[in-house]
Amino acid sequence: MIIDCHGHYTTEPAQLHAFRDRQLSALADPSRRPATIDLGITDDEIRQSLEGAQLKFQKERGTDVTIFSPRAAGMAHHVGTAETSREWTRICNDLIHRVCALYPRNFVGVCQLPQSPGVPPANCIEELERCVAELGFIGCNLNPDPSGGYWRDPPLTDRWWYPLYEKMVVLDVPAMIHVSSSCNPCFHTTGAHYLNGDTTAFMQFLTSNLFKDFPSLKFVIPHGGGAVPYHWGRYRGIAQDMKLRPLSELLLRNVFFDTCVYHQPGIDLLAKVIPIDNILFASEMVGAVRGIDPETNHYYDDTRRYIDQVAALSDEDRRKIFEGNARKVYGRLDAYLEGRSHSRESSSRSGQALQ
């Protein structure tokens, strides 16, 4: 089985964006507030939005399951109030749940959190509990910078975040570190802000005792870890100068990296520098880079091809990257996949009984 740990619903029906436009317009003119949170999206419209995109690419590229969440740039936690974020988050998560219900063999849900600048992360616990307990989600996306590029909240290692971490541990769910859109003109959203967020989170973890306080807490740093693998020697040296333990002991029981790196040399470096046990397969399709690489004539985000072509990987290494490590990090994933299998078996037996 090939599990893609990083997918976003970037092909949503237009009604979702129309609602968001009305919701944000109402911040200046309350009379424009949407009359209902019912988006009017049919199941057929959801199918149509996926079958020519994510589902098509799953089939063509030979992947099986995508861990799926709302559009990352669409979270836009810096916009509006905490109530704006709460309402928008719930709507986006409910739409992901509908996707997973329609295609349980293809998608499993991860939730957006209702973050807002200056609002304690404890405010997210209710939605996290709802998504895990009621919707069957197996993780969350955590924005280390809800301000959208200005970094006004405490670092991820501050006790300000601890109530949320405590709930994550109780629920046995990891978080993918993922910023949203940038409102700082210095930082392009996908080309700079995303990678800044990944790198910054890693450095915050390195300089803290977070994992002494939460030894079972798990984070996935996407996009190959930002600058981290390329500068692994720098980070090892900083830890050494600070008289800290080696990174393998300090961080790598809790911090993992995905393969959203869109060229072969980058994946080769990732697989050479980062321990195999800490790499999770991912593509982020359909996401930040959608085109075909003229040097290879393949899509940039067809990351399975890169993993297949890393000569130094053994079959067991590939099994870990494609499947085993995701099952290890996402503690609820095994139960989800087993439940899906039992449902298919029950349906098959029911069909035979009717014959």
* Residues known to be catalytic: 284
Closest of 312, 322, 341, 196 to residue 258, by C-alpha: 322
Residue position matching structure tokens 């405490």? 154
